[in-house]
Structure 1
Amino acid sequence: MNILQITSTRNEKMKRWRKLSTRKGREEYGSLLIEGEKLLIEAIKAGWQVRSVLVSERGIGILDRLPRLEGVPVYSLYSSNFSQLVDTQSPQGIAAEVVVPDEQRAYQLKGEGPVLLLDAVQDPGNLGTILRTAEAVGARDLWLGSGTVDPYNPKVVRSAMGSLFRSRIRRGDLSEAIPELKKQGYFVVGTSPHAEQAHYDKVYPEKVAFLLGNEGQGISSRLKALMDLHVRLPMPGQVESLNVSVTTGILLYEWVRQKYQGIDG
């Protein structure tokens, strides 16, 4: 394995990798920087293209544990320079630039599990948790509406713990996506504290899309008008609302309960 050394912070590669910490930079280069052995292995297994691998003195030994990467350049950096590029306090010493796959713009879906529609979900930790929970139940298709955090934000990538690489992510206007999904037979469900029906009182069809809203404002009024059903999550305690990632988990696992307990609609 040929390892190329970069010593200067003014090196063009260093400048490029620093830009990947921003959404603008990720969109410019069509890639993102991921950190750590586990995430890199998950990305490789999922078939993501690795553009380059970065290691500090501490991370050299990790290279021997990685799957073989034909033709991928490996760059060695001083630990101080490596730390400038990554987001964690105690980096493992290995990172990689990976190419973001082209998002599927078509509305046609494969009908594998529920679809998630996210309306302006802004917290990276929430989106990462949603991605991981969605994968756990077999929901691979996620539509991210305007105002939703960049799914390739480093905090989203870390909190998703590899699930990002196996998700089918689309970004666009949900007011256009929802009618198209309905044409394919999808039943669109969202939550409201004022809904008469509890989330467990509805038998969900195989083709169901769950719409989740912004952490502070909830689902926008223009999207509420497109929903087929509003459900409430009963909260007998002294709480008005739940975290959006928690709400997502409750809805998805009610779908799982119905599917695997053989509840017939």
Structure 2
Amino acid sequence: MYIRQITSSRNEKVKRWRKLGTRKGREEYGSILIEGEHLLEEAFTAGWTIHAVLVSEEGQEVLRRFQGIRDVPVYSLPTAVFAQLVDTQSPQGIAAEVAVPRASEYRPSGSARLLLLDAIQDPGNLGAIMRTAEAAGVEEVWLGSGTVDPYNPKVVRSAMGSLFRLRLRRVHLKRAIPELKRKGFTIVSTEPRAEQAHFAVTYPKRTAVLLGNEGRGVSEELAKLADLRVRIPMPGKAESLNVSVTAGILLFEMVRQVWETEKGVC
């Protein structure tokens, strides 16, 4: 494996990688910078295209565990330059530029679960939601206006590899929801004063769960488009749940129903 040496922070490639720390730069180049051995392994296993691997002077030992990247350019950077590019306070010494796959036309399966997100703003929440969605067998996560960039470094870390296996799509939810209905989807939203509890509803095979902003919830404009509104009973004194917890409760109630229907085959 040939390792190219970069010594200056003014190198053109370093300038490119630094831009990937911004949403504008990620959209310009169509790629993201991921950090750490785990995420590199996840991206490689998921089949994402790896444009380049970056290592600090102390991180070259990690390369021996990645036999599959022999044909990928590897660049060694001074520790100080490497630290300028990554988002963590204690860098692991290895990072990579990977291409973001383009979203293809959505063709739902016979039994499809979707997650629709209305202006989720906290990166940690979005990452946790993505992990939960993948675990629950969600086909795609659709990101409405105002939702944090899913390729924000904090989202990528919080998603713990689920980012590379989930299909993500940026949409205008006001237009996307009616189209989903035409495809046979039932839109389910949460409402604290809804008459039905979330576990008292039988969810159709094609269900899209609509979740809203951490502060205001689902906008009323979108909530009016929902076919079902359910509440999660809370006998305690807390007024609300974190949106990622809400996602988990609803999605795994659907998993439970499928499990029972199919006698343990989910």
Give the TM-score band, short-chain normalised: over 0.9
Asked if 1:235 is matched to 2:234, the reply is yes
SS at structure 1 position matched to 2:95: strand
Could you say which residue in structure 2 is the equivalent of 1:91?
Answer: 91
Could you say which residue in structure 2 is the equivalent of 1:216?
Answer: 215
Structure 2 Cα separation of the partners of residues 160 and 172 of structure 1: 20
- Specify every segment of 5 or more residues in structure 1 that has no aligned partner in the other structure, as ranges: none
Could you say which residue in structure 2 is the equivalent of 1:169?
Answer: 168
Asked if 1:144 is matched to 2:132, the reply is no
Q: How does 1:119-130 map to 2 (within 5 A)?
A: 119-130=118-129
- What code does the residue aligned with 2:215 have? G
Structure 2 Cα separation of the partners of residues 89 and 199 of structure 1: 41
Could you say which residue in structure 2 is the equivalent of 1:259?
Answer: 258
Q: How does 1:23-38 map to 2 (within 5 A)?
A: 23-38=23-38
Segments ≥4 residues shifted beyond 6 Å = none
Q: How well do the aligned residues superpose, as a CA RMSD in angstroms?
A: 1.3
SS at structure 1 position matched to 2:198: coil
Structure 1 Cα separation of the partners of residues 156 and 24 of structure 2: 17
Deviation sequence 1:32-62 (CA, Å, 0-9, x none): 0000011001001111000000001221011
Q: Does the 8 Å contact 1:30/1:100 carry over to 2?
A: yes
Structure 2 Cα separation of the partners of residues 30 and 70 of structure 1: 23
Offset at residue 158 of structure 1 (A): 0.3
Q: Does the 8 Å contact 1:51/1:73 carry over to 2?
A: yes
Q: How does 1:26-105 map to 2 (within 5 A)?
A: 26-104=26-104
Structure 1 Cα separation of the partners of residues 17 and 162 of structure 2: 23
Could you say which residue in structure 1 is the equivalent of 2:108?
Answer: 109
Offset at residue 69 of structure 1 (A): 2.0
Q: How many residues align?
A: 263
Moved more, 65-74 or 75-84: 65-74
- Specify every segment of 5 or more residues in structure 2 that has no aligned partner in the other structure, as ranges: none
User: TM-score with structure 2 length normalisation?
Assistant: 0.96
SS at structure 1 position matched to 2:234: coil
SS at structure 2 position matched to 1:200: helix
Mark the CA change 1:174 to 1:81 in structure 2 (over 3 Å): closer, same or farther. same
Mark the CA change 1:191 to 1:79 in structure 2 (over 3 Å): closer, same or farther. same
- What code does the residue aligned with 1:154 have? P
Percent of matched pairs sharing the same residue: 65
Structure 2 Cα separation of the partners of residues 80 and 181 of structure 1: 49
Moved more, 166-175 or 112-121: 112-121
SS at structure 1 position matched to 2:168: strand
User: TM-score with structure 1 length normalisation?
Assistant: 0.96
SS at structure 1 position matched to 2:200: coil
Structure 2 Cα separation of the partners of residues 137 and 247 of structure 1: 13
- What code does the residue aligned with 1:59 have? G
